[in-house]
Amino acid sequence: MYHDAIIFSAIGFYILATVFLFVSNTQQSSTWRTFSIISCFVGLVFHALAQTMHWYSEASPDISLLSLLSLCSLVVVLVLCSTVFSRNSLYDASLVALPLALFMLVLEEIIPSQNLLLHRVNTGTTLHILSSVTAFGLLSFAGVYALLAAIIDFFLRRHHLNPLLSLLPPLETLERLLFRLLSLGFLLLTVSLLTGLAFVNDLFAQHLAHKTILSIMAWLVFGLLLWGRWRYGWRGRYAVRMTLAGIVLLLLAYFGSKLVLENILGRSWHAGP
């Protein structure tokens, strides 16, 4: 009951922050923006408290896939809030991140989800599970921002000043946030691959080879993009296309392989051939 109250408090303050930011962008009001930032920080505290209750329960961590995705949304909002007082603030991108965080919190609250029994597996496997899911979550958020950047670029190149563009974050802000999320996601994906290769007993007997290969291909795409950004300043449509290509590879690795194995071949990740 106490956990539910905290979740609903986070949802409420995130809603206020979203509404205030929307009004701020439409009226160009610094006052409403301040209200939005304050509400967002309070919502962030409640969101973090809810996550803390998952990880530090008395018996063992009470973690599900939805709570991990909620953790990813928490990280994204935290990244945005950490830039509030900097000259190149990314807070305008909260107009997208906050509704996504709200969506994750609502799903976490209303949909029953089986907990991951982390206390029954070794530390390496636990690290692999957590890094895999959080990497996928953060990179998926990056994919959402890449799509928004593509939409804005599409309208700008055709000189079509759609009224909706004024409500979306500036393209430069989206790109800066995109690469921050890509950097975090790439780091976690690296941890996921290293721990997976180290702690999977038999890659081929467990039907994980194709999943691993697709994940490595996604890792190479994201790594190349981050290197190109650092070395040559890659951005714009090139960065968006590479980001979306990497996301597609991850989707195939995480869900496409599972669909083929379990629904078509009638096998599972843990079964033999």
pLDDT tens digits, residue range 77-130? 999 999 998 888 899 899 989 999 999 999 888 887 666 656 566 677 778 778
**Containing domain of residue 194, as a range?**
121-273
pLDDT at 166 over 70: no
Q: State whether 102 and 226 are in the same domain.
A: no
pLDDT of 11 strictly over 90 = yes
Count of structural domains within the chain? 2
pLDDT at 256: 56
Residue 27, classified by CB atoms within 10 Å of its CB into exposed (0-12), middle (13-18) or buried (19+), is exposed
The answer on 94 and 109 residing in a single domain is yes
E-state strands within the chain: 63-64, 115-116
CA distance 201 to 208: 10
Question: Could you tell me if 46 and 125 lie in one domain?
Answer: no
Going by C-alpha positions, the residue among 144, 152, 156, 176 that lies closest to residue 247 is: 144
Give residues with Cβ within 8 angstroms of 249, minimum separation 6.
Answer: 214, 215, 217, 218, 221
Whether residues 132 and 208 share a domain: the answer is yes
Domain stops at, among 88, 115, 142? 115
Q: Given 54, 86, 115, which residue is the final one in a domain?
A: 115
Do 66 and 108 contact (CB within 8 A), yes or no? Answer: yes
Domain co-membership, 46 together with 141 = no
Q: Quick one: 76 and 55 in the same domain?
A: yes
- 5 and 88 both lie in a single domain: yes
- pTM for the full predicted model: 0.82
